[in-house]
């Protein structure tokens, strides 16, 4: 169809001028088609770079779990009896057996008011009620005639999530004055004691505060936990203890010796957990192999089954022979193939711990060989992956960080370059489209003039024929 909107029938000349113009315009558009194909190639290449970047970031994520010495090795902890302590591991635990005796649990202070006949009628003064837990500083609630009942005071305390105490109203079941306000510290240990004060001086509120401060109304005293740890008596403000066994959290849940048949202590056994470490290594191997598979796919040349006669008979990836892809695979292959000084010559190469490269450059994992190496020298395995700067996990993590850096990274630069080239091609296409449109208009006008001239000549010839 003509872009100009001018229709030429070719009746005077006998020529199919429309077809001639279409053919000429088609020839003129060839450079545009070439540029459009180039743009498709740029976009395909950019998409492949992004796919490579995604696979590298996945590998980097798996390398991250190997690069920190406290994260690589897995540990497990167990106790020889139940009901006294629970244990969990994290970070850089130290294998061994430890003995714990819980003498007493840490307790949070609990104070009550005296009993009252009702919980939501009688007021207890107006003003500011100040509550201070240990050395944390005073916290306040405002009391007026709308909220100065036992229920109102409890609600005002609980409405502030930052308060160091919680409150409730308890019905003791007594025949007279059964209702008490119960205030519980959220802080365990001796530093969790609660004190109350009031301002300004209001007789009813001051009396209520004095009642709360009365030690006769302290139903549970703030108390530290006391334990015997490997024979040494230790005090802690919390029942959750993280600073005794490195990498192990000990939660105290019961006291030894309260019952006749209670064990005298609990033994905690911390050991390496090869399953956790193996899982991290396998995930790393899988992510590495995904990069290798991607690179291999880009270096294949395949038959183009849909090619017509005269068209390209083979098909190749836009990244075939790409220098950036070649750099990535070469560096990764070098890192996993080089030795690392681990302090044990028997475990300085991945191949020595059950991780080998096949003929395609992919890694294979031998569970039995890895378990044997891990049991023999977990420290060397840790150094092989997590040694600062030279560990395999650290090297790969840092390299990928460089390649994918949003500013100057290798892949980032390639993608930005392709985006710039795509914009340049778009500008060229726009200019050529304008040129083709002008060409079509010019040729159409020329053929229109030809038809007009031929029509005039035909008219003259017809007139001469009539004269003759």
Task: Select the more confidently predicted residue: 336 or 272.
Answer: 336
CB 384 within 8 A of CB 353: yes
Least confident of 3-7, 36-40, 133-137: 3-7
Encoded tokens for 94: 């130290």
Residue percentage of the chain with pLDDT more than 70: 93
Query: Strands (DSSP E) along 201-313, which ranges?
Result: 218-220, 225-229, 232-236, 240-241, 248-252, 266-272, 301-303
For residue 147, pLDDT over 90 is answered with: yes
Q: State the chain's mean pLDDT as an integer.
A: 88
Phi-psi category of residue 127: left, alpha or beta, with phi > 0 → left and psi -120 to 50 → alpha? left
Q: Between these two residues, 314 and 253, which has the higher pLDDT value?
A: 253
- pLDDT above 90 as % of the chain: 61
pLDDT score of 15: 65
Per-domain residue ranges of the chain: 34-70+275-304+313-412, 75-105+225-272, 108-220
Distance (Å, whole) CA 127 – CA 135: 23
Q: Count of residues for the chain?
A: 468
- Judged against a pLDDT cut of 90, whether residue 427 lies above it is answered with no
Q: How far is CA 319 from the centre of its chain?
A: 29
Q: Which alpha helices (DSSP H) does 10-136 contain, by range?
A: 17-28, 30-67, 69-72
Judge whether residue 162 has pLDDT over 80.
yes
- Checking if the pLDDT of 421 tops 70, the result is yes
The set of residues, in sequence order, having a beta carbon less than 8 Å from that of 393 and lying 6+ positions away, is 63, 64, 65, 66, 67, 72, 284, 385, 386
Contacts of 342 (CB under 8 A, 6+ apart): 348, 379, 380, 381, 383, 384, 387
Nearest to 277 by CA among 97, 86, 78, 69: 69
Longest dimension (CA), the chain: 145
| pLDDT for the residue numbered 1 | 44
The string of pLDDT tens digits covering residues 240-278 is 999 999 999 999 999 999 988 999 999 999 988 889 899
Determine contact, residues 403/411, Cβ cutoff 8 Å: yes
pTM over 0.85: no
Backbone dihedral region of 164: left (phi > 0), alpha (psi from -120 to 50 degrees) or beta? Answer: alpha
What band does 195 get if pLDDT is binned at 50, 70 and 90? very high
Asked whether 153 and 147 are in contact (CB, 8 A), the reply is yes
In contact, 207 and 125? CB cutoff 8 Å: yes
Does residue 312 register a pLDDT over 70?
Answer: no
- Residue 311's pLDDT band (cuts 50, 70, 90): low
What average pLDDT does the segment 265-292 reach?
A: 94
pLDDT for res 424: 82
Using the predicted structure, report yes or no on whether residue 293 has a pLDDT greater than 60: yes
Q: What is the mean pLDDT of residues 360-376?
A: 94
Per-residue pLDDT, 215: 94
């Amino acid at each position: 169809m003509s872009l100009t909107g001018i229709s030429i029938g070719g009746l005077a000349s006998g020529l199919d001028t429309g077809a001639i113009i279409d053919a000429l315009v088609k020839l003129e558009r060839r450079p545009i088609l070439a540029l459009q194909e180039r743009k498709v190639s740029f976009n395909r290449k950019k998409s492949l770079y992004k796919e490579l970047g995604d696979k590298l970031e996945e590998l980097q994520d798996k390398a991250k779990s190997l690069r920190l010495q406290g994260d690589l090795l897995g540990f497990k902890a167990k106790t020889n009896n139940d009901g006294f302590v629970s244990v969990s591991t994290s970070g850089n635990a130290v294998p061994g057996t430890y003995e714990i005796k819980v003498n007493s649990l840490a307790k949070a202070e609990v104070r009550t008011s005296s009993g009252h006949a009702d919980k939501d009628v009688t007021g207890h003064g107006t003003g500011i009620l100040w509550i201070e837990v240990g050395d944390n500083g005073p916290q306040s609630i405002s009391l007026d005639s709308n909220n100065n009942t036992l229920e109102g005071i409890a609600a005002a305390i609980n409405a502030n999530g930052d308060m160091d105490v919680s409150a409730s109203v308890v019905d003791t079941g007594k025949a007279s004055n059964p209702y008490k306000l119960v205030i519980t510290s959220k802080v365990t240990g001796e530093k969790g004691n609660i004190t109350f004060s009031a301002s300004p001086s209001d007789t009813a509120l001051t009396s209520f505060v004095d009642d709360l401060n009365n030690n006769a109304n302290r139903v549970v005293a703030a108390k530290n936990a006391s334990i015997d740890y490997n024979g040494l008596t230790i005090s802690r403000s919390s029942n959750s203890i993280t600073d005794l066994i490195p990498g192990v959290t000990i939660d105290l849940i019961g006291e030894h010796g309260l019952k006749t048949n209670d064990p005298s202590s609990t033994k905690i056994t911390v050991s390496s957990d090869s399953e956790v470490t193996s899982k991290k290594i396998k995930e790393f191997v899988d992510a590495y192999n995904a990069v290798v598979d991607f690179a291999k796919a880009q270096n294949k040349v395949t038959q183009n089954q849909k090619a017509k006669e005269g068209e390209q008979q083979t098909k190749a990836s836009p990244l075939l022979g790409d220098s950036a892809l070649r750099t990535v695979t070469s560096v990764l292959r070098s890192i996993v193939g080089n030795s690392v000084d681990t302090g044990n010559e028997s475990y300085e190469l991945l191949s020595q711990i059950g991780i080998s490269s096949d003929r395609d450059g992919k890694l294979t994992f031998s569970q039995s060989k890895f378990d044997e190496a891990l049991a023999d020298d977990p420290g060397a395995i840790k150094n092989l992956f997590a040694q600062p700067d030279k560990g395999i996990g650290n090297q790969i993590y840092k390299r990928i960080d460089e390649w994918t850096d949003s500013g100057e990274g290798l892949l980032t630069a390639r993608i930005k370059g392709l985006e710039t080239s795509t914009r340049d091609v778009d500008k060229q296409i726009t200019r050529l489209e304008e040129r083709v449109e002008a060409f079509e208009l010019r040729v159409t006008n020329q053929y229109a003039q030809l038809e007009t001239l031929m029509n005039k000549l035909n008219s003259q010839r017809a007139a001469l024929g009539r004269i003759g």
